[in-house]
C-alpha cells in the first residue's frame, strides 16, 4: 500500500505539471473532445500534451486520468478512488492467424469546413471489405499531438494483442482487429483526428483546442460543423 501511495504521489507531481491551473498548463497543448457510445450520454475527454507526457481525463484536475510517459513508452492508468495504478508497456503488434486484410482509403472531404485554416481529409479503415472506422483528420495540424496520440493508441493495441487469448473468439471479428489491434493507429498516420466513429457506435468529435508554445495554430479553434457521417452510414467507399 505504501508503495502504491508513493507512486501516486510521483504521478501527482507529473499531474501538477499538466492540468493544475493556467500557469502550469501554459506549455501544454490542450484539446477538448466529446465522446459518445451507444446507450451512454456523451461525455467530455480532455487531452493535454507536452514534449514529455500525454494526459487524458474528463476535464477534472483531481479526477482519474491516463498518463503516457512518452520517453519511457509506458501508460499509467491512475484511479484515485481505489488508489490503484495500472502500468502498461508498449510492445510489438504482429499479424496472427485470423487477422484481416486492412485497407485505408483517404480522400479530401469537400463538405468539411477548414480546421485551423487547414483542409480536412476523410479516412476510411476497412477490414476484409467491411467499413470499420471513419475519421476526419487534418494532415498538418499539431503533428506532435498526433504523434503522442499514435503512441497512446499503439500502447493500447499492444496490450490488446498480448491479451488476445482473453478476448472471446466471437468478438474477434475483422473490425476488432482493425479498430483495436493491428489497425488501431492507421488513421493517425493521416493526421490529427477532429472526428471519428467506429462501426459499433463509439464516436468522438473535437470541440476546441488551445495550441501550446511552438505549436501551429491560433489559441482556440472550435471544430464544429463537420458532416455527421461515420462508419456504417451512407457515403461512397
**pLDDT at position 222 over 50:** no
| Higher pLDDT, residue 54 or 16 | 54
pLDDT, residue 199, reads 86
pLDDT, residue 79, reads 86
Q: State phi, psi for 11 to the nearest 5 degrees.
A: -70, -30
Neighbours of 177 (CB within 10 A): 27
Report the alpha-carbon distance of residue 220 to residue 214 in Å, rounded: 15
Between 147-151, 153-157, 211-215, the lowest mean confidence (pLDDT) is in 211-215
Q: Name the helix (H) or strand (E) containing 208.
A: strand 203-210
Q: What DSSP string runs through 47-105?
A: EEE-SSEEEEESS-TTS-EEEEETTTTEEEEEETTTTEEEEEE-------TTPPPEEEE
Q: Specify the 3-state DSSP secondary structure of 220.
A: coil
CB 152 within 8 A of CB 160: no
**pLDDT at position 181 over 50:** yes
Buried b (16+ CB within 10 A) or exposed e, 139-169: bebbebbbebbbbbbbbbbbbbbeeeeeeee
Region 149-165 average pLDDT: 95
Which of the four pLDDT bands, split at 50, 70 and 90, describes residue 98? confident
**pLDDT at position 180 over 60:** yes
Which of the four pLDDT bands, split at 50, 70 and 90, describes residue 1? very low
Report the alpha-carbon distance of residue 133 to residue 216 in Å, rounded: 27
Which of the four pLDDT bands, split at 50, 70 and 90, describes residue 115? confident
Region 13-37 average pLDDT: 69
pLDDT, residue 215, reads 60
| Higher pLDDT, residue 22 or 88 | 88
Amino acid at each position: 500500500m505504501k508503495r502504491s501511495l508513493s507512486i501516486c504521489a510521483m504521478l501527482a507531481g507529473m499531474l501538477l505539471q499538466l492540468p493544475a491551473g493556467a500557469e502550469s498548463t501554459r506549455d501544454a497543448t490542450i484539446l477538448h473532445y466529446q465522446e459518445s457510445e451507444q446507450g451512454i450520454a456523451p461525455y467530455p475527454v480532455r487531452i493535454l500534451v507536452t514534449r514529455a507526457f500525454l494526459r487524458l481525463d474528463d476535464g477534472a484536475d483531481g479526477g482519474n486520468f491516463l498518463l503516457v510517459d512518452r520517453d519511457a513508452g509506458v501508460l499509467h492508468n491512475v484511479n484515485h478512488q481505489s488508489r490503484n495504478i495500472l502500468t502498461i508497456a508498449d510492445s510489438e503488434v504482429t499479424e496472427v492467424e485470423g487477422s484481416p486484410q486492412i485497407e485505408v482509403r483517404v480522400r479530401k472531404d469537400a463538405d468539411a469546413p477548414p480546421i485551423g485554416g487547414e483542409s480536412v481529409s476523410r479516412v476510411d479503415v476497412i477490414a476484409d471489405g467491411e467499413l470499420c472506422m471513419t475519421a476526419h483528420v487534418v494532415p498538418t495540424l499539431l503533428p506532435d499531438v498526433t504523434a503522442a496520440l499514435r503512441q497512446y493508441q499503439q500502447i493500447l493495441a499492444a496490450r490488446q494483442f498480448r491479451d488476445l487469448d482473453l478476448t472471446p473468439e466471437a468478438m474477434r471479428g475483422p473490425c476488432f482487429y482493425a479498430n483495436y489491434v493491428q489497425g488501431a493507429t492507421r488513421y493517425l498516420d493521416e493526421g490529427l483526428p477532429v472526428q471519428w466513429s467506429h462501426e459499433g457506435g463509439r464516436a468522438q468529435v473535437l470541440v476546441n483546442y488551445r495550441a501550446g508554445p511552438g505549436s501551429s495554430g491560433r489559441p482556440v479553434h472550435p471544430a464544429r460543423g463537420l458532416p455527421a457521417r461515420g462508419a456504417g452510414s451512407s457515403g461512397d467507399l
